[in-house]
Structure 1
């Protein structure tokens, strides 16, 4: 009769086999495979103002957009919601009218003269369509960015030598992996704390309250280089997750509204659970990410109190053996 240790050893072997399958999946698929078969690439001209860029990105529900300099026919870099966040904060500190200040900033000046916000790739960071997904993932992680442009550079002219065919985010990469590898992902055992994934100490999690103005929340995110914060009530119970992408719902650009109201506008009546239990096995956490379609989950105890945060970055570091 097999002993308990032998059963555990067998389970560990099976889990290791499934993790190898996931690793091999990354090696056998390319950046081009991840891109949607049909869709559009929204492109911003470098002469556009920050005010115009905000409304284009909001109207098209884009969290990152490539910027093209039409005068010199060259790719300048990616404009992300983190850029918009920094632009909004910059203009709130200006002595001029807030919206006029946004209109006075053009994208060419911003990308050429401003330090890249946390999570934004430098203009030189990119991947090719035939790069395998392990290369894509490592490029994301090593450059600490949340989005990568996919550029084709095999044309015969300067214009065709920098053809932008799409972009890859952690969320797009996760959805592709989950669609094809759900069975292997479902075998991962152990909790987040046991696997050493995420921030599992409540005292270390940066959080806000629902009545705090959006402006103050954006400052907090900027100062700490993070893309989102949990919103908790006076008793520490989790309510929602505010991310930099939610600023796209502030079409009136009123940064004095409470963060609770900003979330209601952003969700537009469609609220998905953005949390998991701290005791959930990894397979359940992965399922929660799939349902929520978000890059960040709050980790709660059985009473609904916030105990930690886990992100897709944390998850991919674990899967790639880089945690």
Structure 2
């Protein structure tokens, strides 16, 4: 069982947040806490989020899938921007979802030996043909210039329901595109947590601001097979599934990144494993299961984001039973819409 992290700070509504929201309702020009955060985002460019020193992994679309997966795993990442060397252009992103689509496609249509042979010869650019065959829409070619504001970047992520956004510049002399880096939701929200003092005003409880998903949640048991969970990922376009015991208590979370470990070691041997066994193959740097309650607020959540990698929070009640999921997308949507 991964370590659970729970927090519960300041359950009362901050008087300043309440006051500024009242002013807004009355047509007063005084800024609300959310408008203050938006102002902060408009004052900073997407480039400001990047660390002083960083590396970027870019994959050519002609690369074999097997080699692409190895490159991702060796560098500890689950996605990478793509480059079309023939057209000399940015060609979208390779993400975990692409691998999940490939797994589901081959699992339903091929024997293990046939699937393995095809995957050995499959190039990244062939992903799109497979996705077309299984009825998925064409991938979005999202990108933004590094000097565009963080506010614009957040709006684009929210509107596209994307988790990451490539930064693409263009050489003014040659017109050549250049992939600068990739913004992720976590990287943006951590930048806000570290640098935006206005987040201390975000003290309304989750029960009041009503962010997150609380109905029709996908869940699994330790005995649920990996392929069944993959089907949930693909059909519901989600990246994690809470694992519950027979009483509805949250005991773990199975994530799309967990599938990557199985893929690298021979996915088709592991797809019928129960997730309880599959989770034993996790790497040691698994961040744990982060939980909160409906009494918690965004200020305390940002404190957690500042301290460690967080990609979602499982909302539980006093008995640790599942109530809902709050994703980074939910938080970003609340801030900028």
Q: Report the TM-score, using the length of structure 1 for normalisation.
A: 0.86
CA 1:244 to 1:68, structure 2 compared with 1: closer, same or farther past 3 Å? same
> Is the counterpart of residue 217 in structure 1 residue 232 in structure 2?
no
Secondary structure at the counterpart of residue 279 of structure 2 = helix
For residues 135 and 172 of structure 1, the distance between their equivalents in structure 2, rounded to whole angstroms, comes to 15
Secondary structure at the counterpart of residue 299 of structure 1 = strand
> Is the counterpart of residue 187 in structure 1 residue 201 in structure 2?
yes
CA 1:10 to 1:44, structure 2 compared with 1: closer, same or farther past 3 Å? closer
Would you say the 8 A contact 2:168–2:180 is kept in 1? Answer: yes
Partner of residue 54 from structure 1, selected from 54, 69, 77: 69
Secondary structure at the counterpart of residue 150 of structure 1 = strand
For residues 245 and 258 of structure 2, the distance between their equivalents in structure 1, rounded to whole angstroms, comes to 19
Render the CA deviation track for 1:124-161: whole Å, top value 9, x for unaligned: x2100100001000111112211111000133225xx2
Q: Give 5+ residue unaligned stretches, structure 2.
A: 1-12, 22-30
CA 1:121 to 1:283, structure 2 compared with 1: closer, same or farther past 3 Å? farther
CA deviation after TM superposition for structure 1 residue 220, in Å: 1.2
For residues 185 and 61 of structure 1, the distance between their equivalents in structure 2, rounded to whole angstroms, comes to 30
Equivalent positions of 1:251-290 (< 5 A) are 251-252=264-265, 253=267, 254-268=270-284, 270-290=286-306
For residues 119 and 317 of structure 1, the distance between their equivalents in structure 2, rounded to whole angstroms, comes to 23
Would you say the 8 A contact 2:212–2:327 is kept in 1? Answer: yes
CA deviation after TM superposition for structure 1 residue 289, in Å: 4.0
> Is the counterpart of residue 241 in structure 1 residue 253 in structure 2?
yes
Q: Report the TM-score, using the length of structure 2 for normalisation.
A: 0.83
For residues 311 and 287 of structure 1, the distance between their equivalents in structure 2, rounded to whole angstroms, comes to 15
CA 1:25 to 1:191, structure 2 compared with 1: closer, same or farther past 3 Å? same
For residues 117 and 188 of structure 1, the distance between their equivalents in structure 2, rounded to whole angstroms, comes to 41
Q: Which residue of 2 aligns with 1:226?
A: 238
Q: May I ask how many residue pairs the two structures share in their alignment?
A: 309
Give me the CA root mean square deviation: 2.6
Would you say the 8 A contact 1:208–1:231 is kept in 2? Answer: yes
CA 1:184 to 1:262, structure 2 compared with 1: closer, same or farther past 3 Å? farther
Secondary structure at the counterpart of residue 314 of structure 1 = helix
> Is the counterpart of residue 101 in structure 1 residue 118 in structure 2?
yes
CA deviation after TM superposition for structure 1 residue 284, in Å: 2.3
CA deviation after TM superposition for structure 1 residue 117, in Å: 9.9
Would you say the 8 A contact 2:43–2:149 is kept in 1? Answer: yes
Would you say the 8 A contact 2:14–2:203 is kept in 1? Answer: no
Render the CA deviation track for 1:150-205: whole Å, top value 9, x for unaligned: 000133225xx210010011111111111112x4223312221210111234xx21
Q: Give 5+ residue unaligned stretches, structure 1.
A: 1-6
Secondary structure at the counterpart of residue 167 of structure 1 = strand
CA deviation after TM superposition for structure 1 residue 113, in Å: 6.2
Would you say the 8 A contact 2:105–2:130 is kept in 1? Answer: no
For residues 61 and 221 of structure 1, the distance between their equivalents in structure 2, rounded to whole angstroms, comes to 21
Q: Which residue of 2 aligns with 1:4?
A: none
CA 1:113 to 1:217, structure 2 compared with 1: closer, same or farther past 3 Å? closer
**Which sits farther off after the overlay, 16-25 or 264-273?**
264-273
CA 1:142 to 1:47, structure 2 compared with 1: closer, same or farther past 3 Å? same
> Is the counterpart of residue 157 in structure 1 residue 169 in structure 2?
no
Secondary structure at the counterpart of residue 186 of structure 1 = helix
Secondary structure at the counterpart of residue 93 of structure 1 = helix
Would you say the 8 A contact 1:274–1:288 is kept in 2? Answer: no
Secondary structure at the counterpart of residue 76 of structure 1 = strand
